[in-house]
Amino acid sequence: MTHKAFYIFYFIFCIALFSSCREFVYDNPLDPGYTLKPPKNLTVTAITSTSATLQWKEENNYRQYPNVKVQYEIEQSIDNTNNFSLVKTIDANTTKTTINSAFNLTKDYYFRIRAKVNTKTSAFSNTVAANILGLVMKFVQGGTFQMGSNSGNSDEQPIHSVTVRKM
């Protein structure tokens, strides 16, 4: 084989090789009709002044798409409105993560998570609230309530009416 024939053969071989490999070049071959499901049952399992640990349940079946790179986007807010900020993006090979940040003793923190493939995202999970003390303030509708017991401890007796103003 002459040098010219070799280079022509090599050129054609390379074109054929790269043409057959183009199916592996594209990113995240997710079916166009596939709907990403949001993670479920998001919980804060621990929170300190320097970190918050979150855990959730995965709802998508990515194993049928081995070339798909799935990620989770975790957002945080301090007022539970639409003022959420992205605080962490992780690969979807886990259902637990820790957010390292400064958390104030007197503030409530709200977290939510969603799945992401390229620019396609799921809806957000449930929103969870936490603070360092483990207490989250809740709205109480004002009104009059019955409190106490006729058969409990002496400091619970008798049943009596209590009026609470709206808080």
Are 94 and 145 in the same domain?
Answer: no
Q: Span 111-131, mean pLDDT?
A: 88
Residue 146, domain extent: 140-167
Tokens of 25: 């070049």
CA atoms within 13 Å, Cβ hemisphere of 1: 8
Q: Output the pLDDT for position 23.
A: 44
Evaluate if residue 4 carries a pLDDT over 60.
yes
Residue 87, strand partner residues: none
Q: How far is CA 102 from the centre of its chain?
A: 19
Clarify whether residues 125 and 145 are in a common domain. no
When pLDDT is averaged across residues 127-132 and rounded to a whole number, the result is 86
pLDDT digit string, tens, across residues 19-70: 555 444 344 455 666 778 888 999 988 888 898 999 998 877 666 666 777 8
* 74/115 same-domain check: yes
Q: Tally the domains of the chain.
A: 2
| Cα(29)–Cα(26) distance, integer angstroms | 7
